[in-house]
Chain A
């Protein structure tokens, strides 16, 4: 036994020293040769390696939401580089389809010159058609809330914070609106209690969502409870509106499925798949060049970065040139799609195509 103890002590001692001290130290020494990589590939606003005053890491995606920038892929981790993760949603999860169609609704376009878009200088957009379709049936929201599985509950739970030891659970603007609505319309709660006689505790906003929308549709037919920000205020409020991004997002999938819209669906411009799917880490810094050059990205960016409308085509050409110059394909060109790094592309964009004054 004593020789076993000796051997274990020597084995553990020596391997801990070698594997946990000498081996990492050797790599730290190698790291001195690659200081930028060893520190996390941080870059400054010019896209040069920097440690002080860094504006990002070349390898980590940053959120870009303004119209003058190229947008990265959606992130299940909200671009939080201290909590990487993917959505982990399988193909059979309605949340996945919901997320994608919600993202598509407000941005989707008709192909240029197609029947649905028309030929005028301001082509008709799918958003206008979705709103018209929505308004055609006064209680569309009620049917939606009664049939859909994920959307309405998600709407109520937007900005919801779960209870912790220190704070109670807290609903966002929309959840609070439902709570207020129920207070003002006690019949909603009564109806719920009648339908659920076995439940004694207070109904939560997500339980009441279907009844809320039914009641809402009666009071405001063909309207949607949209978030509005009144002039000069920082706080948002919910108001019944007839035109809202929420309508485009929530009703896109239903509008699509309506056989009456078959022709229009065929005219839609397809969206590159990487624009609507989340990456595994939530921090994928690249998009495909196809995505960057699609009407959903470059047209928007070029519009914002041009001073006069006559110049748009020229700027668009310039930005496309830049994106092509920045693109690369993985494995030094052996495999796959051409990609661009969103952070590097946007930093270069700020340098070469600054925002025109006054926009």
Chain B
């Protein structure tokens, strides 16, 4: 049970040190460009940029990404590589406009919240050009932003060049490692084809039902969707994107065929977020400080995994267990007695809760993946988080709400730096000294920017959750009763604001094709509301926490360095590690604890088959 998470974390930690050094070299420009690339680099290099120019370039590029993405998706029916198969004889149509808006913002913000289902709604062209390009580019945006912040913190005169950073990250980092991962995945059984869905006769004749053709009963074939999956999968994880080729994401046997690919996918989700901390220490030349951050993040991360595995694999699904009689007494209301339930004769020994999980990854793979994917805001899933045991469902929620346990491509570490500045400020005030970070004074302006970056996150989660939970928009979308339905809404907005993209996927938010007749299932009643609300949350949740720290770093960079004295608060000690951990947990838990108590905790304490 514990071997799998141990294997994943140990492998990644071992790989992260050399990888971090490699990343620092690339982003500091200490490499010889391959032939031909030097010319492109010259064309890209618009010269050194200060934080405002850097932020402007970043926003301009993202605006163009939006236009490009919207065009590709809107023109899907007329573009090439639109496969026609038994399920879709006319090829894939155009998605509803709000879904396109949601999907485009989702992919450009590195969220990959999917209000569509990959195999049903996207053509191979959309997968290869829209999805693939956005996955490479949006991951590199966060990466570049982090590099710029680091340059600001170490006091460089400029913050580098956005376009050049993007090029380096995409071409020298993501493409080679994607290629390597892609080959390994292909060898393990992930498909890579442009042929339409396969039609097979089932082994038990007529098992899929029968069709009547010319008055005769003919057995229906099984139609198996496939496609260029092996190209999308590597960058989906390396870029912590998480947008699945298929609706079931990494739980689908074509996306994740064996236990080995499951380990490979976990490692490739974690490798860059782990290495970025190493790169941070390397670029700042402060390895001890980076080690403190690494340890703080790692202790939170391990706690998340242990919690999830213990409550999910270690315990059977409470729905099948016995429940004593419960009396619900609310003052002023008639007493309600919930009848006792006898345990169903189901044997879960060694497997724990298997609803929504695949067997081939091993019993603890589901909760481990849930912790991994939400700690680093990847959003890919290999089990249905909706069906996790109630308390195990806390792990993904907490991971997204803290949003700094390693965190997504660059942005997670940026969030951690904001917490760090806050921790420095708090401890500085406690001992009555002007707080300093890396030899620069932290003053009112920096704190305002840090608070802006910090507080936008809970605001974007709790505000819309409250709104949707109170209205029919939310109530009609949930597919589980009571507290769990509320968790679904909370999860959706946590996922959007943290730019994670995973979901308590029971939520009804899919409209599908604009032409509703072509959909395999009826559109959800409030799909458009969900599309627009989460779209806006994703945009704000992405760009405010990038721009504000850029400004913060820019403002610190402009300050004079104060000399290091015996009274300076050291940021590379164990004590400071505890201060940092305390700040993250206190700020994070105080903000979200009430919301969590209403969701998973209430579900855990309530009668299990609710409403009986």
Chain A residues packing against B (C-beta within 8 Å): 3-4, 6-8, 10-12, 14-16, 18-20, 23-24, 26-28, 30-31, 34, 37-42, 45, 53-60, 62-66, 69, 73, 77, 79-94, 96-97, 100-101, 104, 108, 148-149, 162, 164-166, 253, 256-257, 265, 268-274, 276-288, 330-332, 334-337, 339, 343, 346-347, 350
Task: Give CA–CA (A62, B208) in the complex, Å.
Answer: 8
Indicate if B446 sits at the interface (CB-CB under 8 A).
Answer: no
- Supposing A27-B182, A62-B222, A92-B483 touch, asked if A15 and B136 sit within 8 A by C-beta, the answer is yes
Task: Give CA–CA (A164, B166) in the complex, Å.
Answer: 47
CB distance from A153 to the nearest CB of B (A): 12
The one of A84, A165, A268, A336 in contact with B246, judged by C-beta atoms closer than 8 angstroms, is: A84
Chain B residues packing against A (C-beta within 8 Å): 3-4, 7, 40, 43-47, 56-57, 60-61, 64, 68, 85, 87, 117, 119-120, 128-129, 132-133, 136-137, 163, 166-167, 170-171, 175, 178-179, 182-183, 186-195, 197-198, 200-204, 207-208, 222-226, 228, 230-231, 235, 246-248, 251-254, 257-260, 263, 316-320, 339-342, 344-348, 350-351, 353-364, 366, 381-384, 386-387, 389-390, 393, 479-484, 487, 504-506, 516-517, 520-522, 603, 606-612
Q: Which residues of B contact A166 (CB under 8 A)?
A: 517
Closest to B163 in A: A7
CB distance from A157 to the nearest CB of B (A): 14
Task: Give CA–CA (A334, B363) in the complex, Å.
Answer: 12
B319 and A96: CB pair below 8 A?
yes
Q: Which residues of B contact A280 (CB under 8 A)?
A: 248, 251, 356-358, 366, 381-384, 387
A24 and B136: CB pair below 8 A?
no
Task: Give CA–CA (A153, B202) in the complex, Å.
Answer: 33
CB distance from B488 to the nearest CB of A (A): 9
B359 and A331: CB pair below 8 A?
no
**Can you list 19 residue pairs at the A/B interface with Cβ under 8 Å?**
A26-B179, A27-B183, A27-B230, A30-B186, A31-B230, A37-B191, A56-B203, A62-B207, A81-B222, A83-B521, A86-B251, A86-B355, A91-B317, A104-B346, A108-B345, A271-B347, A279-B356, A330-B362, A337-B359
CB distance from A13 to the nearest CB of B (A): 10
CB distance from B232 to the nearest CB of A (A): 9
The one of A8, A56, A85 in contact with B202, judged by C-beta atoms closer than 8 angstroms, is: A56
B263 and A37: CB pair below 8 A?
no
B247 and A343: CB pair below 8 A?
no
Closest to A45 in B: B203
B480 and A330: CB pair below 8 A?
no
B251 and A19: CB pair below 8 A?
no
Q: Which residues of A contact B481 (CB under 8 A)?
A: 92-94
Q: Which residues of A contact B136 (CB under 8 A)?
A: 15, 19
Q: Which residues of A contact B316 (CB under 8 A)?
A: 273
Q: Which residues of A contact B482 (CB under 8 A)?
A: 92
The one of A7, A34, A101, A162 in contact with B186, judged by C-beta atoms closer than 8 angstroms, is: A34
A83 and B520: CB pair below 8 A?
yes
Q: Which residues of B contact A253 (CB under 8 A)?
A: 341, 344
The one of B132, B167, B381, B483 in contact with A11, judged by C-beta atoms closer than 8 angstroms, is: B167
Task: Give CA–CA (A9, B340) in the complex, Å.
Answer: 67
The one of A82, A91, A269, A287 in contact with B197, judged by C-beta atoms closer than 8 angstroms, is: A82
B186 and A40: CB pair below 8 A?
no
B480 and A331: CB pair below 8 A?
no
B345 and A40: CB pair below 8 A?
no
Q: Which residues of B contact A287 (CB under 8 A)?
A: 359
Q: Name 10 extra pairs, CB < 8 A, besides A40-B254, A86-B251, A286-B359.
A: A4-B60, A10-B43, A19-B137, A27-B179, A31-B186, A91-B353, A148-B612, A256-B344, A270-B347, A335-B362
Task: Give CA–CA (A28, B128) in the complex, Å.
Answer: 12
- Supposing A90-B390, A280-B358 touch, asked if A350 and B251 sit within 8 A by C-beta, the answer is no
- Supposing A45-B203, A96-B319 touch, asked if A331 and B263 sit within 8 A by C-beta, the answer is yes
Interface-centre pick from B56, B204, B207, B504 (highest chain A CB count, 10 A): B204
Closest to B43 in A: A10
Q: Which residues of B contact A63 (CB under 8 A)?
A: 202, 204, 207-208
B248 and A84: CB pair below 8 A?
yes
The one of A15, A39, A85 in contact with B195, judged by C-beta atoms closer than 8 angstroms, is: A39
